Each structure stands twice: as structure tokens, then as C-alpha cells.
């Protein structure tokens, strides 16, 4: 939070906060970049035809982004949230993704398209959309970056 306390101009402030994040918390920056990549690519995958060679290539890229995001999250700590030795309730999502991502790939490799579709849609909804919404809550880094610095909504 201290990384963004001194910024108050919309565009430059957001860029300054991201630059400071990269400098002081590179793991969090990496997590942010891979998560945003997974969100964007996931939307593309949901809108495009399924079962094509492009879908397979983009799907593997999405799985790589999700896996990278998950590994990074396993090493992130937030001592402002309720936790046990640095492990917070959000780490349950890390475990869930670590289980569901290989499961979804396994379904696809076995030809169980319906189970693959169901698993990947749930994974996208939970890990990209719902987790992303919680990330934007006021008081969290990205929430403060968006609501206060970028939009000027919070005091």
C-alpha cells in the first residue's frame, strides 16, 4: 500500500505505481501480468471456435499463464489478511487451480470434451473473473490503484 500512497495523478500515477511494484515486488508484478494475460486470453478462447488447432495452441498458452500465476501466488504473502504463517484463505484458490488446471487438460487429452469445457469454464470464472473482482476491492493494491489513483473515486 505504501507503494501508491504518494501518487495522485491518474495516468502517470498508475504507471508510477506499476513501476514501483515491478521494482519492489517483482513477484506480485509477475503475478499481475500473468493473471491479466490469462484473463484476456481466456476471453478470446471463450469467444472463438473450439476444437481447432488455434484453440489448442491458445489453450496451452492460457494454461501456461494460469500455471505461472498459480505458482507465483503460492509464494506471495499478505500479513494484513487473516493468515496462518503467511498463508491466507486466498491460498485455497491456489490449491484449487493447481488441481483443476491439470484436471481440465487431462479431460481434453482423454477426449472428454464436455468435462474439459465444464472444468475450464469454472476455472476461468473462479480464478480469473471472481478472484479478479475481489482483487479490485478498496484497500487491496489493485483496488486502490484503480479506484483512487486511476479514477480518483476514493478519498
pLDDT, tens digit (0-9, with 9 covering 90-100), for 12-70: 666 777 788 888 889 989 999 999 999 999 999 999 999 999 999 999 999 999 999 99
Q: What is the dihedral of CA 49, 52, 53, 57, to 10 degrees?
A: 50
pLDDT given at position 14:
65
Q: Classify 84 as helix, strand or coil.
A: strand
Ranges of each domain in the chain: 9-150
pLDDT given at position 19:
84
Q: Which of 120, 136, 145, 112 lies closest to 9 in space, CA to CA?
A: 145
Contact 1, 28 (CB under 8 A): no
pLDDT given at position 47:
96
Q: What is the mean pLDDT of the chain?
A: 84
pLDDT given at position 132:
86
Task: Mark out the alpha helices in 75-128 (DSSP H runs).
Answer: 91-109, 113-123
Residue 104 — pLDDT band, cuts 50, 70, 90?
very high
pLDDT given at position 154:
57
Rounded average pLDDT over 64-89: 82
pLDDT given at position 52:
96
Rounded average pLDDT over 83-112: 88
pLDDT given at position 135:
82
Distance separating alpha carbons of residues 3 and 22, to the nearest angstrom? 11
Rounded average pLDDT over 120-125: 97
Taking the chain, what is the end-to-end CA distance rounded to the nearest angstrom?
A: 14
Report phi then psi at 34, rounded to 5. -70, -35
117-142 in b/e form (b: 16+ CB < 10 A) is eebbeebbeebbeebeeeeeeeebbb
Contact 141, 21 (CB under 8 A): yes
Task: Look up residue 87 and give its DSSP letter.
Answer: B
User: Packing angle between helix 26-47 and helix 53-74, nearest 10 degrees?
Assistant: 150
Residue 127 — pLDDT band, cuts 50, 70, 90?
very high
Angle subtended at Cα 101 by Cα 97 and Cα 103, rounded to the nearest 5 degrees: 120
Amino acid at each position: 500500500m505504501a507503494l501508491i500512497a504518494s501518487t495522485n495523478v491518474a495516468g502517470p500515477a498508475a504507471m508510477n505505481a506499476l513501476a514501483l511494484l515491478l521494482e519492489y515486488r517483482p513477484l506480485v508484478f509477475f503475478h499481475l501480468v500473468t493473471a491479466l494475460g490469462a484473463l484476456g486470453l481466456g476471453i478470446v478462447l471463450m469467444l472463438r471456435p473450439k476444437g481447432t488447432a488455434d484453440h489448442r495452441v491458445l489453450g496451452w498458452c492460457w494454461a501456461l499463464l494460469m500455471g505461472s500465476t498459480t505458482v507465483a501466488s503460492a509464494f506471495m504473502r499478505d500479513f494484513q489478511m487473516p493468515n496462518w504463517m503467511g498463508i491466507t484463505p486466498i491460498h485455497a484458490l491456489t490449491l484449487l487451480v493447481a488441481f483443476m488446471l491439470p484436471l481440465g487438460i487431462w479431460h481434453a487429452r482423454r477426449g472428454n470434451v464436455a468435462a474439459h469445457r465444464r472444468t475450464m469454464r469454472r476455472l476461468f470464472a473462479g480464478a480469473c473473473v471472481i478472484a479478479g473482482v475481489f482483487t479490485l476491492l478498496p484497500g487491496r493494491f489493485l483496488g486502490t490503484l484503480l479506484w483512487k489513483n486511476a479514477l480518483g473515486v476514493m478519498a
